[in-house]
Structure 1
C-alpha cells in the first residue's frame, strides 16, 4: 500500500539521514534533452543540505597546470582503454550465469575487439583570398596559418556601434581597438564604431538603447555584457533578430577582458561571417550542388520543437540560407522542412540563375529507431518538392548521428576517436562511397565559429546552432531579413 511521505521522512527511512533544516528551499533541476529522450518529464528536486557543487569554475579552467592534471584522468589513452575492455571481457566470460544467458541466443562475447582497416584522409587545403594555408593533421587547427592572410571575401564595415554599461568602458574600448587591429590583416576593413554607454546591464537598458539607435541603420550592433546573463542575452537577441533585424555580436566580460588578440580575432571572424563575408573555404570540385543541414531543438519555454534548416547558396558552400521553424509534433517537422526547402531553392535560384543539379541533405538529431520514419516522411516530402520544381535534381539524403556506442582506437594513434555515423538512406547521385566520405570530410572544415574541424558537416552544425539559439533565447521565428546571413554564430 502506498502512502505520501515528505522528503525528510524519505531520506530518514531510506538512507537514515536526518534533514536538519526543514525550512530550506529545494533546488529544482529541469530535465535535460537526454532526460526527455528517455521519458523523464518531471524535474528533480534536490535538498541543498545534501548537495555539492560539481564541475569546474572559470578560475579552475584558466589554470593550465590544473587542467593538464585533470586531463591525465579524463583523457584515457588507447592502451588503457583497451586494457579496461579486455578486463571486462575476461571478467564477463568467467561468469557462468552470464554465458548461460547468451547461449540460447547463439551469442558469444569476443575475446578481443574487432579489428578492421580504414582510410585516413589527409589534411585539406584551406582556401583563402588568392592563396591557401596548411595545418598539422593531428591538430586540425589553422588559426596560425591564417594570420595576416586575406579572407576569400570580406565586407567593409563602417557603420556599426557598441552598446555597453558605463562602468566597463575602458575594457570595452581596448577590446574594440584589438578588433580594429586584427581585421585589416585578413582583409576585413573595419571603421571606428560609435560608442553608446548605458547606466547598467539590465535587459530594459539594452532594449531602450536598441530602440534609440536602430533608426541610425547600423550594419552591425555589438553588445558588451560584464556577466553572462541569460535574460539579458535573450532580450537583446529578440530585439535584433525579430523586432529590429540587424547583425549583432554579443560579447561577455570573460571574453573582452582577455588580454592579447586571440579572442578579438575569433570575434572579428564571426563579425565578418555575419555580414556575409567568407573567411575561408576548401577546394570543392562539385558544380551546381547544394548542401543542406537540418537539426531540431526543444524550446524550453513554449514546450515546442524548433527545426533549424540551413542550405548553401554558392559553389564553395561558404554562403547559406538559414531559418528556424517551430513544430509541436513529429508530423509537423515534415511540413516545416518542405516549406524551408522550397524557400532555400528559390534563394539558390535567385543567386545562381538556376536550381542546383545535386542536393546533399544531412539530417541530424535522428535516433536509430526513427530512421524508417524519416525515410517514409521527410525524405518523401523532399522528393515531392523536387518532382514539382525539377525532376532532374539528384538528391542524396544522409542521417548523421553522434550519439553512437562505437569507439575507434587507432593502432598508432594518441587518442580514442568518438566517430560520427553517416547513414545514406537515399542516393540518386550514384557517387562512390569514397566521394561521399570526402565531401562530408570537407564540410567539417567550414564552420566559422572554429578555425578547425568539427564533428559533423558545417550545414549540420549551423542548423544545430540556429535551432539552439531560437529554442533557448529568442523563442520566436527570426526575421526573414536575416535569412541569408549567419547571424546566429
Structure 2
C-alpha cells in the first residue's frame, strides 16, 4: 500500500493572515458516537464503552440465493427478522452478512436454522450462519488513525457496520433505496411535474424526495453526513420512448437506464435490444422447473398483464458471483419495455429553460431549507438509531474555515477587474490586441441579412475590448446540407488559391447533426484545422450587444490570445506548468475520452490540449507518458526551458482506484520526465479532484435572524472534517441560486516545497482563469478546459483533433 503525502506546513502566521480571513461555518456533518447497544437479552444499562465487540457472520440460504440478489435476500430476512431477534437480540443485516453484538453459540445458530415458514417469492428458505470474524466497535477504530491507507474508509469494518445499521433503519421505516448510493426516498409522497415541450406536447415527470447519509471518519471524530436527495422519474415507459424514436432507431435506448417499480425500484442499464424476442418468447424457469413465456412469468410473479405482445425485449447484462464457488459470471436479464420507466430528463428537456425551472421548483432547496432538512433528518436518524448503539448530535456541526481573498485580474490598457463579489464585468480591452481579419461566414442565402446585422453588432461590441473586426467574406448556400456547405468552403480555399481564413463562422439555425458535421470537418485530423464558431439568429434576439461581446471574446480565446491574466500567488515558481485531466461521461465505441490540458506560459493563459481514448475502467491512461512528453516539448518551445514545477489536477477516481492511480499514473508521468532528459526530474504534485461530494457548508450571519447562506467564494475547509493526509474542500464559485457544492482536493503525490496555503491560493486563483466565464468556476481553468475538450470530442468530433489546433482552445 503506497502512503499518501502528509499535509505541508503553512506559511508564517502573518503571511497567512494577509491572504485570508477566518470564518465559522455550519455543515451537514454531525458528530456520531458509538455506545453499547440495547439488547433484549442484556439487562445492563446503555453506556459509552471502549471495548464493544461486534461478531460478523456470513449468511447462506437453502436453497441458495445469489449474493447480488439483494431484494430477495432482504425479503427472506424481513419475514424472519422478528424470530431472529427473539433468539439473538438486536442485529443488523447487510444482504451478505449478519452483525451481532453477541457471540452466538451453536444452539442459537441451530435455532435460526430451524425457523420455519420463511416463505418468499413462492419458495421456502432456511437461513444458515457461519462465523467469520469479530472486531472492536468504537470511535478510534472507526477513525482508523493509520492514514497511510487510502482505502481505510472503504475497507473499514466499523464504518461498514454503521452503514448497515442505518440502512436497516431506513428499510424498517419503509424508505426505498433507489440505486446503490445510500439514497433513500419516501415513494408515497411523490409529486407530479407537467412540462410543456416545444412541440406543444406535454410530458409528466415524478419527483421523489428523500435523503442520503454517509459515515465519515475525520482527524479526531466520527461524523455522519446527512443531505437532501431528490430523484426524477419519467412517467414515460421504455416502450413509449422507443416508439417515439423509432424513426431514428430503436437502439437509441441502448446505454440509457430504466427503472422497474414492480421489483423495488431496481435500475437497469440497457446493453442491447433483442428484436428476436417478445413477451411471448419462452425461457426455462428454475423455480417452476419448466418452460414459461415472459408474459406468463410476470403475470404469475407480479400479477402484471402485458398488453403489447409484439414488443422487443430490453437486455441488461448483470454481473454476479455464484453462491458456492464465488466465481464471477455474467447473465442477461430480459426486461419488457412496457413495464420499464425511463429515468431522468431527456436532453431536450435539459436544454429547455422553462422545463428546468419547473423541475427546480419541485427538487431544489435554498441553503436555509437544505440545511434545516439535514438537521431534521439527522434528528430522525438519531432517534431511530439509539437502540442500535449510535448517538448522533444534531447540534455538533459548527466548524472553523478560512476565506481567501480573490486574485487581482489584469486587463489591457492597465485596467483591473473588480473582484469584490468574485464575478466581474469584462468591460475593458483584452490583454492581447486582436484583429479579426481574413475571416469567413457561411450561411444560407435566406439568412444573409441577419448575418450582416450580426457582423455589425460584433464590430460595435468589440470596440470596448479593443478588438479590431474587419469585414468577413460571405459564402451563401441554397440548402442546409452540411456536405454542400463543406464543398463550398473547399472550392474556395482547399481547391482554390486562397489562403485559409483565420476562423470561420457558420450562421443559421441549430441542428445537432449539421453542427457536428461542420465541427468535425473544421477540427478533425483530415480537415483544414481552423477554429470555427456557430451562431444562431435566435441567440441575437435578446441582449444582442452582450451576446456579441461574449462571442467576440470566445473567438479571441479560440485563436489562442490572452483575454486577461490572473495574479500568481507569492512563492510560485515562474517556470510552473499546470495540467488538468478530465474524463467524459459519454463513450466512443465503448471507450472513454480523457481530455488532458497543460499550461504553456508563466501566466497560465496558453495551453496545449490533447485527448486519450481509453478502455473502460482503465485508470492507467496508457498513453499518458507520451501526452505529457508532448506538453513538455510545447512548454520548452514557448519558454526555452522545461518546467521546474508541475501541478496536476486529475478528475476524481473511486477510492478503490486511487492505489492504481498512484502506481501507474504517477509512474507514467515520471517516465515522461525521463524521456525528455535523463537528469530531468521536476518537482510535482498530483491531486485527485472530486466534484461529486455530499458534504455541504453554510454561512450564517452574526445576526441570527438572517437566513443561512452559501459560503463565500474562496472558502477553504481544511480542519475537523478532513483526514490527516493532505486534503481540503474548496467552495470557489460564487453561488447565488441553489446550494453550493464544494470541491474536494486530495493530494496523492507531492515533491514540491510549496506551503499548504500556497496550494490553496494557486488552486483558487486558477478558477478565475477560465475565459468562458467572468468569475470563478468550481475547478482550476486547466481542468475546466480538459472537461470541455473531453466533452467536445465525445459528443461532437468523435475522433482526434487536428494537430494544428493543439495549442488553441478550439473546443470552447
In the superposition, the TM-score normalised over structure 1's length comes to 0.85
Find the residue that maps to 1:400 and give its secondary structure.
strand
Per the alignment, residue 384 of structure 1 pairs with 671
Q: Residues 444 and 43 of structure 1: is their aligned pair in 2 closer, same or farther, counting only changes over 3 Å? A: farther
Q: Residues 364 and 51 of structure 1: is their aligned pair in 2 closer, same or farther, counting only changes over 3 Å? A: closer
| C-alpha deviation, 1:6, in angstroms | 5.4
Q: Which runs of no fewer than 5 residues in structure 1 stay unpaired? A: 32-38
1:409 to 684, 698, 710: 698
Find the residue that maps to 2:399 and give its secondary structure.
coil
Find the residue that maps to 1:279 and give its secondary structure.
coil
| C-alpha deviation, 1:299, in angstroms | 5.2
Find the residue that maps to 2:771 and give its secondary structure.
coil
**Maintained 8 Å contact 1:309/1:324:** yes
Per the alignment, residue 741 of structure 2 pairs with 418
Structure-1 separation of matches of 2:410 and 2:404 = 17
Q: Residues 59 and 153 of structure 1: is their aligned pair in 2 closer, same or farther, counting only changes over 3 Å? A: closer
Query: Which has more strand, going by share of residues?
Result: 2
| 1:268 is aligned to 2:552 | yes
1:250 to 513, 534, 542: 534
Per the alignment, residue 180 of structure 1 pairs with 459
Per the alignment, residue 34 of structure 1 pairs with none
Compare CA radii of gyration and give the structure with the larger one. Answer: 2
| 1:146 is aligned to 2:407 | no
**Maintained 8 Å contact 2:447/2:508:** no
Query: Which has more helix, going by share of residues?
Result: 1
Once the two structures are superposed, the pairs formed by residues 175-324 of structure 1 within 5 Å of their partners are: 175-215=454-494, 216=498, 217-229=500-512, 231-242=513-524, 243=526, 244-285=528-569, 286=572, 287-297=574-584, 300-324=587-611
Structure-2 separation of matches of 1:355 and 1:259 = 45
| C-alpha deviation, 1:75, in angstroms | 4.4
Per the alignment, residue 86 of structure 1 pairs with 375
Structure-2 separation of matches of 1:209 and 1:43 = 49
Find the residue that maps to 1:395 and give its secondary structure.
strand
| 1:61 is aligned to 2:384 | no
| C-alpha deviation, 1:85, in angstroms | 1.6
**Maintained 8 Å contact 2:629/2:673:** no
Structure-2 separation of matches of 1:271 and 1:135 = 24
**Maintained 8 Å contact 1:25/1:47:** no
In the superposition, the TM-score normalised over structure 2's length comes to 0.53
Q: Which runs of no fewer than 5 residues in structure 2 stay unpaired? A: 1-284, 318-329, 702-707, 711-738
| C-alpha deviation, 1:434, in angstroms | 0.8
Structure-1 separation of matches of 2:339 and 2:407 = 51
Structure-2 separation of matches of 1:7 and 1:309 = 50
Structure-1 separation of matches of 2:624 and 2:335 = 34
Structure-1 separation of matches of 2:477 and 2:542 = 22
Deviation string for 1:149-181 (max 9, x for gaps)?
Answer: 111113321111111223333333222321121
Q: Residues 277 and 297 of structure 1: is their aligned pair in 2 closer, same or farther, counting only changes over 3 Å? A: same
Q: Residues 478 and 310 of structure 1: is their aligned pair in 2 closer, same or farther, counting only changes over 3 Å? A: same
Structure-1 separation of matches of 2:374 and 2:418 = 37
Q: Residues 59 and 448 of structure 1: is their aligned pair in 2 closer, same or farther, counting only changes over 3 Å? A: closer
Structure-2 separation of matches of 1:474 and 1:343 = 22
Structure-1 separation of matches of 2:451 and 2:486 = 19
Structure 1 residues 169-178 or 189-198, which shifts more? 169-178
Q: Residues 368 and 251 of structure 1: is their aligned pair in 2 closer, same or farther, counting only changes over 3 Å? A: farther
Structure-2 separation of matches of 1:11 and 1:212 = 64
**Maintained 8 Å contact 1:154/1:276:** no
Find the residue that maps to 2:622 and give its secondary structure.
helix
| C-alpha deviation, 1:221, in angstroms | 0.7
| C-alpha deviation, 1:131, in angstroms | 1.7
Structure-1 separation of matches of 2:344 and 2:749 = 47
Per the alignment, residue 159 of structure 1 pairs with 438
Structure-2 separation of matches of 1:220 and 1:174 = 19
Per the alignment, residue 407 of structure 2 pairs with 124
Find the residue that maps to 2:392 and give its secondary structure.
coil
**Maintained 8 Å contact 1:24/1:48:** no
Per the alignment, residue 35 of structure 1 pairs with none
Structure-1 separation of matches of 2:760 and 2:547 = 33
**Maintained 8 Å contact 1:154/1:272:** no
Aligned residue-pair number: 465
Q: Residues 488 and 84 of structure 1: is their aligned pair in 2 closer, same or farther, counting only changes over 3 Å? A: same
| 1:445 is aligned to 2:728 | no
Per the alignment, residue 787 of structure 2 pairs with 464
**Maintained 8 Å contact 2:295/2:305:** no
**Maintained 8 Å contact 2:440/2:472:** yes
Find the residue that maps to 2:450 and give its secondary structure.
helix
**Maintained 8 Å contact 2:609/2:807:** yes
Structure-2 separation of matches of 1:199 and 1:288 = 52
Structure-2 separation of matches of 1:136 and 1:45 = 57
Per the alignment, residue 373 of structure 1 pairs with 660
